[in-house]
Structure 1
Amino acid sequence: MEIPRDTSPNHNPYITGTTPESANPNQEQPAVKRGSLDILLVDDDQLSLACDKLLLEREGYRVTAVNSGELALEYAQIRHYDLVLMGLTLPGLSGEHTAQLIRDPLGGAVSPRVPIIALSSQTGDRARKRCLKAGMDEFLPKPIIWEDMQHAIRCVLRGRNKTQAA
């Protein structure tokens, strides 16, 4: 028996949910005009990095994608970002440590007020609490559900986490 495969250009087996093109047109709109946001995307998994970057760009966001905490800090020092999407298991500096360095006012914070959303294969309340303690604003478990990412982005840009918004 052959298993049917979705070969449409919008199908991605690594991200669940609808893609921007197939999303409900009546759903809640972004907090700010699409295309007006610069996002720093940090993930050590090259496939996740490429897929997330593509989906975000299709939504109209300007995305800089890097694969380490050190590169994230370098880019954050030379350019203003409206949002950081941060993987946790990175080579060198972890995502948690990178977030702390971005936020640390005593260590010459790179961008103490930029919203940071953790993207993690670690699940559960313990991982979420560690991320929030490190200064991140929100936590999304992998695999990423596109609607959850959109909702988290809207919420952190409005100054609240998605749990408060529900």
Structure 2
Amino acid sequence: MIDEPLDSGHEYEALLLGNQLCFPLYAASREITKHYKQLLDPLNLTYTQYLVMLVLWETDALSVTELGKKLCLDSGTLTPVLKKLETKKFIQRLRDQADERLLTIRLTNSGQRLKEQAKTIPAQIQEFLPLAEEELLLLQRLSTKLVQSISNN
């Protein structure tokens, strides 16, 4: 359980766990990701693989660089995830004919079909979270703003 921020007035007040911004973000992320795991296991996806699939369901045929930017992941993190998805036959990695260094990621038919199985996941996550719809929208907007401002620095 996360305690409320403390105002004790002593010199180490900033070091109190209850006064940290990152801890509740970290703890909430862990709990939500744990719930995603239960929903994603039947689809044979990890949470990171699911994020890749979300981006590709929205915009198929992206370069690894574009995909990494959308997911805030570097190629060292993304490459093993893409290899796993390719092994599972959900995506294919295609080399650019003009420039062999460039890889384009495309969904396979299996990857497209997986979208149908995953379509209820966002609603199930929303039901799991003990917040009103307006609170969820505010949290999403503030989280997005935070990520964008940190990424731009």
TM-score, normalising length: structure 2: 0.26
CA radius of gyration, larger in = 2
TM-score, normalising length: structure 1: 0.25
Larger helix fraction of residues: 2
Larger strand fraction of residues: 1
